[in-house]
Structure 1
Amino acid sequence: MNGVVKLVVALLAVALLASSTLFVVSETERGVKLRFGRLIEADIQPGLHYKVPFADQVRIFDARVLTLDATAASFFTIEKKRLIVDSYAKWRIADVEAYYKATGGVESVANSRLANRVNNGLRNEFGSRTLREVVSGERDALMRSITDELNATVLESLGIEVVDVRVKRIDLPDEVSSQVYRRMTAEREKEARELRSTGKEKAEVIRAAADRERTIELANAYRDAEQTRGDGDADAARIYAAAYQKDAEFYAFMRSLAAYKSAFSNKADVMLLEPDSDFFRYLNNQRGE
């Protein structure tokens, strides 16, 4: 029984010794080793490591890409227009030793110091650009410039690498919003007037071309109709002449019938003629005598 107790005590002692001498750094972490508060090993890579019990202390840091959600701040453009900018930055630890010495390994301290530098970078970039360039024209170029400038300083001073800086939202103060809105309205109205003017000009050109084509088509159609009508009248006259030459009496009779039909088609018409008029030639005698 005493042997079992001794074995358990020995196992517990071994486990306690192992827990105080061995430690593990995962793939998403980096660490530093301190001996009596003095840094003796920086940037401990992932894996199983050992330390001296009671003398060594290990600090583990998150090596993944972290997010700094900066507080919205006011910046002025080159036109002295105030903007309220809400931004964020993506960063990660690049130099573990420099990071620990600058921030003590406290993530909130790193975020605070990085936020100050991000705001300074945004202030400088916004101050050298117009409102239009900041809002739409050069947003990507502005973000790349800020990222490059930050990496030129924070990598050495804070031991971190800025992966990206982005603007989530840009708000305009009330005194600027109305002015910007009026200017945007005026620009859109000007653009609308130009488009309407261009449309009217094109419409007039199209309408004039259509009227010209219509006039030409009508003139050609009238010419062809008159030519066809003239040809028809000539053929009719020739046919009438040929018929008249074959039987002049029959031709005269048919012309008289046509005259009667035309004259008596309207009962309201009144005609004053002599009884022996040539008009009654075939009414008085079927032979026209």
Structure 2
Amino acid sequence: MARLNFILPVVAVAVIGALSSIYIVDEREKALVLQFGQVKAVREEPGIGFKVPLIQEVVTYDGRILSLMTQPLEVTPLDDRRLIVDAFARWRITDVVEFRESVGSEGEAAAQARLERILSAAIREVLGSVPSNRVLSEDRIPLMVQIREIARRQAQSLGIDVIDVRLTRTDLPEQNLTATYARMQAERQREAADEIARGNEAAQRIRASADRTVVELTSEARSQAEVVRGEADAQRNRIYADAFGRDPEFFAFTRSLTSYQRALQGDNSSIVMEPTSEFFEYLRSDRGGAPAPAPSAGPVTEGQ
């Protein structure tokens, strides 16, 4: 019984020691086996590994591609126009041993902070050498490539590789934005005023052309009307002359009727004249040439 009590603790210690000597490396990780702070083994392949219990320890790092979003920073391009810029970077650990020696026990957090400082310096260096219009344009790929190459060279000492760098925002400061918007608004208002002025000028030309066309058409129409009226009057006179030549008495009769019509127009027309006047020649008898007997009364008033 005493012997069994002795064996059970030994077995338990052995089992615990065996379990503590086993470690597992995930396929998304890279591992270092450290002994008193010194690197004894590097494990980048997934699987099970062994270490010396209580003496050695295993430190794992993320082996995937990691992301870093930089804080907004103010950059002064070549034309002294201030810009607010932030960037997005993708990076990964390539040399686990060098990475451990560079960042120590702080791991990815320390690497992120140091990489952000490297990116900020690279952004200031590249964007400070070009005018702001190039930074604000859509074709910024060459600038991002330059920033990535500078950051990649400087990050190699950390045991990491900078895969890609993207400028996510390139804006003017708030006070500059207000001034820029005001200037853009003034430019648009000036362009609108120019367009309105050109439109009014074109409308004035069209209106003047239309007025001139109206005057020309009216003048031409009046001229043609006068010609037609003159031709009609001439034709009328020829007809009258022909009728007079054929029957002078009928012509005189129609002319007298026309005179009656013109003289007695209106609702309150009146004529005062002698009854023996030639005006009533065709009213006194059946024929215009035979005068009617003179009445005994004085002047007569005819009305209609």
Q: Would you call these one fold, judging by a TM-score over 0.5?
A: yes
Q: Distance in 1 between matches of 2:275 and 2:126?
A: 115
1:63 maps to: 64
Equivalent residue, structure 1, for 2:115? 114
String of CA shifts for 1:22-61, please: whole Å, max 9, x gaps.
4330xxx35254454427547x36xx43423345735241
Aligned to 1:88: 87
Query: How big is each residue's C-alpha offset from its partner over 1:50-97, in whole Å with a ceiling of 9 and x where there is no partner?
Result: 42334573524152452x3322333335454444x2523131327354
Alpha-carbon displacement from aligned partner over 1:163-209 (angstroms, at most 9, x marks no partner): 342343635344x4554454334323332332223223322333333
2:26 pairs with 1:24: yes
Tell whether 2:142 aligns with 1:140.
Answer: no
Q: Following the alignment from structure 2 to structure 1, what is the Cα–Cα distance between the partners of residues 211 and 237?
A: 38
Structure 1 position 271, deviation (Å): 5.4
The structure-2 alpha-carbon separation of the partners of 1:80 and 1:24, relative to structure 1 and needing over 3 Å to count, comes to closer
SS of corresponding position for 1:92: strand
Flag the 1:39–1:271 CA change in 2: closer, same or farther, 3 A. farther
* Match of residue 152 from structure 1: 149
Instruction: Classify the secondary structure of the residue corresponding to 2:22.
Output: helix
Q: Is the 8 A contact 2:119 2:151 kept in 1?
A: no
Q: Distance in 1 between matches of 2:169 and 2:136?
A: 15
1:215 aligns to what?
A: 215
In the TM superposition, residue 139 of structure 1 has moved relative to its aligned partner by 2.9
Checking the alignment, whether the CA contact within 8 Å between 2:33 and 2:42 is kept in structure 1 is yes
Any conservation in 1 of the 2:21–2:50 contact (CA below 8 Å)?
no
Measured in 2, the distance between the counterparts of 1:121 and 1:265 equals 108
Tell me the TM-score normalised to structure 2 length: 0.66
Question: Contact 1:32/1:39 (CA < 8 Å) preserved in 2?
Answer: no
2:49 maps to which of 48, 51, 55: 51
CA contact (8 A) 1:147 1:162 kept: no
Rounded to whole Å, the distance in 2 between the matches of 1:113 and 1:209 is: 75
Change in CA separation of 1:122 and 1:258 when aligned onto 2, cut-off 3 Å: farther
Identity, % of aligned pairs?
A: 24
What amino acid does structure 1 have at the position aligned with 2:111?
A: A
- Would the aligned equivalents of 2:75 and 2:124 in 1 still touch at CA under 8 Å? yes
Alpha-carbon separation, structure 2, partners of 1:273 and 1:65: 127
TM-score by length of 1: 0.69
Q: CA RMSD in A?
A: 4.0
* 8 Å CA contact 2:25, 2:31 repeated in 1: no
More deviation in 246-255 or 143-152? 246-255
**Matches of 2:165 and 2:233, distance apart in 1:** 92
Do the aligned partners of residues 22 and 267 (structure 1) sit closer, same or farther apart at CA in structure 2, a change above 3 Å counting? closer
Secondary structure (helix, strand or coil) at the match of 1:266 reads: coil
The C-alpha deviation readout for 1:224-278, integer Å capped at 9, x for no partner, is 4334434443443444444444444333333322322222223556656565444
Secondary structure in 2 matching 1:89: strand
Taking structure 1 as reference, are residues 154 and 263 closer, same or farther at Cα in structure 2, changes over 3 Å only? Answer: same
Distance 1:233 1:272 in 2: 33
Letter in 1 for 2:138: D
Q: Cα–Cα, structure 1 residues 208 and 19, in superposed 2: closer, same or farther, change >3 Å? A: farther
Unmatched 5+ stretches in structure 1: 1-8
Letter aligned with residue 89 of structure 1: F
The question of whether the paired residues in 2 share the 8 Å contact of 1:32 and 1:96 is answered with: no
CA distance in 1, matches of 2:100, 2:208: 80
Q: Distance in 1 between matches of 2:81 and 2:197?
A: 34
What CA distance in whole angstroms lies between the structure 1 residues aligned with 2:99 and 2:209?
A: 76
Q: Deviations over 1:82-116 (max 9, x none)?
A: 44x25231313273546565545833333323332
